[in-house]
Structure 1
Amino acid sequence: MRRLVSVDMCAGAGGLALGLERAGFDPVLLLDSKPQACETLRHNRPSWNVLEMDLLDFDPVEHQESYDVDLLSAGLPRVQSAATTKRMDTGLELGLLKATIYLVHAMQPRALLIENVPGLVDDPAFEEVRAFIRNELEHLGYGLHWFVLNAADFGVPQDRKQGVLMALKEPFSAKFEVPAPTIEKHITAGEALRASMSARGWTGADTWAAQANQVAPTLVGGSEQRGGADLGLSGTKRAWARMGINGGALSDEVPGPDGVQESDTSGSPLKKITVDQAAVLQSFPTDWIVTGRKTARYRQIGHASPPPVGEALGRAVIRALTG
């Protein structure tokens, strides 16, 4: 079967693009505004055409390779409803979503994939946004599919719900089917991290893994405008604590034989995960190197779309486009 071609906007650390590559897509262009994310993409795939640019400044006329593609994909910054947030960057996030929709007018891809918050799919607070998308795409001949996937159903050891818009031109839209779960039993945080927790000989790793018997809470990359990396808000940190994890910060190393993490000066008996372990929880392969310093690496990982979800979505698009 021939490989299809794609353009990926707000590519970040490449989680969605990597999943689509596994499914059978070759990107002709990947765009991100953050230098560190672009460095990560170029480090792992030197052959990829990576463009460091703000999506709002992108003009497809100046990048002819973006025309006549099978898929336009975008793992966009999380849009927040004005009714549910006071965040200052809401307008920017919504602007990036609208800019992606406007690109469809010029590029006319056979399929569009946008991954974002679950509320975008059916929350009444986002109805105005959905109406805008419908008005822009339906008259161009696209059929729209809105649905929510949980990454845990695709082998990711994390309770991570993702809202998805899949728009395909007819007659392809009628052939699209929402990806079905690829596993029958969820992978727990303990199962995913046991090997790394014992890598330096920690004798308590098996006991820890046995009680960390749920999928991990959702990883969050956090805001660029606040301090160092942590694993989320208070409620999320309590969920991590029930798994024996200190969610207040990341460690530079996994536990030693006696369970000590030298970089942890908190005095807590709970263990901290490392950036590499966060990548495991996002199901990045071990040979995918996320570049930068610790906080920059964690933010790239936390904001990413898990590759197994991208792969499942890519395969569903290919089935619709190729029959």
Structure 2
Amino acid sequence: MRLTSVDVCSGAGGLALGLERAGFDPVLLLDNKPVACETLRRNRPSWNVLEMELAHFDPTMHRQVYGVDLLSAGLPRVKSSATTKRVDTGLELRLLQTTVRLAHTIQPKALLIENVPELVASPDFGEIRDYIQKELACLEYRFYWFVLNASDFGVPQDRKQGVLVALNDRSFDRFEAPAPTVARHVTVGEALLPSMSARGWAGAEKWAAQANRVAPTLVGGSDNRGGADLGLTGTKKTWAQMGINGAALGDEVPGMDGVQESDTSGSPLKKLTVEQAATLQSFPQDWIVTGKKTARYRQIGHASPPPVGEALGRAIAQALRR
């Protein structure tokens, strides 16, 4: 039996894709970015995609959302209350609060929110957790907080995710947080060797042997800053140890002589392509992320890896179906 869902802040569709594999069919997906909505429609023309700010979403205009099995949200990363007061307008926090309030209206059987790992237990996020828990108590939901690492689910990346799962009383005791699905983590070299060798680069296997660890967390960055790179200075040093230039993305994989024609940096390190970044997020090869290079990379970097969404979806589905 297939289950139904509403997915908000859907982005490139990583969480929704994983939930689809777990048996959830979305009745509506919502995102405020045109390029993300284009990605969703390109890959799943049958999905009902709504381009709109979450704060402006009126469920009464979309009656199919009422009583769905699951409300899911891979939200922009919230900041602690101290940080929010100092440097930020608190947009991410408002999106989190709006998602919880949306559960009041549509009354899903289960709620899934994925965010920063610190949200689960850090004292800096105590006020946010208190707000969420009070709202859920009013709805008579019971809830679990826990942290998952995407590398435990076959994703070649050290990507910790804070997760909230809330369910009604009937299903709560039947829920179990997903257990790891792999006994050994997939390395960057293993994941990217097929693409690194696709144009005949003789040094690809030697490079893959050097890239013998999981990747650091991919970050999409802010829409308000420049082009795409792979993170802060410390993260770029980690990439360099694996033979990767983290300062920018490339347009093509190495040729037979190891040269990337678009790379004029003079560095022997290789630049990842957008497609390789998608591989490190465990998107399937046929999943097309639309837009220009930086917009594509940001969608990928902000996404929830589909295997994590699938594991969470299977655990929730099992609790709902029993």
TM bucket (normalised to shorter chain) is: over 0.9
Q: 1:194 to 1:89 in 2, by over 3 A?
A: same
CA distance in 2, matches of 1:59, 1:254: 45
Give 1:252's aligned amino acid. D
Partner in structure 1 of residue 60 of structure 2: 61
Contact 1:212/1:243 (8 A) holds in 2: yes
**Equivalent residues in 2 for 1:6-45 (5 A)?**
6-45=5-44
CA distance in 2, matches of 1:214, 1:298: 22
Shift of residue 138, structure 1, vs aligned partner: 1.3
Aligned sequence identity (%): 74
CA distance in 2, matches of 1:224, 1:279: 19
CA distance in 1, matches of 2:218, 2:175: 29
Contact 2:201/2:256 (8 A) holds in 1: yes
Contact 1:245/1:272 (8 A) holds in 2: yes
SS in 2 for 1:219: coil
Deviation string, structure 1 residues 223-243 (Cα, Å, up to 9, x no partner) = 000000000011111110110
SS in 2 for 1:172: helix
Shift of residue 130, structure 1, vs aligned partner: 0.4
Contact 2:84/2:90 (8 A) holds in 1: no
Contact 2:35/2:291 (8 A) holds in 1: yes
SS in 2 for 1:94: helix
SS in 1 for 2:173: helix
Partner in structure 1 of residue 286 of structure 2: 287
Partner in structure 2 of residue 224 of structure 1: 223
2:159 matches 1:166: no
Partner in structure 2 of residue 273 of structure 1: 272
Supply the RMSD in Å over aligned alpha carbons: 1.0
Gaps in structure 1 of 5+ consecutive residues? none
Contact 2:81/2:127 (8 A) holds in 1: no
Q: 1:63 to 1:81 in 2, by over 3 A?
A: same
CA distance in 2, matches of 1:88, 1:57: 25
Shift of residue 82, structure 1, vs aligned partner: 3.1
Partner in structure 1 of residue 211 of structure 2: 212
CA distance in 1, matches of 2:77, 2:91: 10
CA distance in 2, matches of 1:87, 1:276: 36
2:177 matches 1:178: yes
2:108 matches 1:109: yes
Gaps in structure 2 of 5+ consecutive residues? none
Shift of residue 85, structure 1, vs aligned partner: 6.1
CA distance in 2, matches of 1:173, 1:14: 27
Partner in structure 2 of residue 198 of structure 1: 197
Shift of residue 139, structure 1, vs aligned partner: 2.4
TM-score (norm 2): 0.99
Partner in structure 2 of residue 250 of structure 1: 249
Contact 1:82/1:90 (8 A) holds in 2: no
Shift of residue 84, structure 1, vs aligned partner: 4.2
Stretches (4+) displaced over 3 A: 84-90
CA distance in 2, matches of 1:51, 1:118: 28
Partner in structure 2 of residue 234 of structure 1: 233
CA distance in 1, matches of 2:83, 2:184: 34
2:153 matches 1:151: no
Contact 1:121/1:164 (8 A) holds in 2: yes
Contact 1:81/1:90 (8 A) holds in 2: no
The count of corresponding residues between Structure 1 and Structure 2 is 322
Contact 1:192/1:281 (8 A) holds in 2: yes
Partner in structure 2 of residue 51 of structure 1: 50
Partner in structure 1 of residue 130 of structure 2: 131
Deviation string, structure 1 residues 17-53 (Cα, Å, up to 9, x no partner) = 0000000000000000000000000000000000000
Give 1:293's aligned amino acid. K
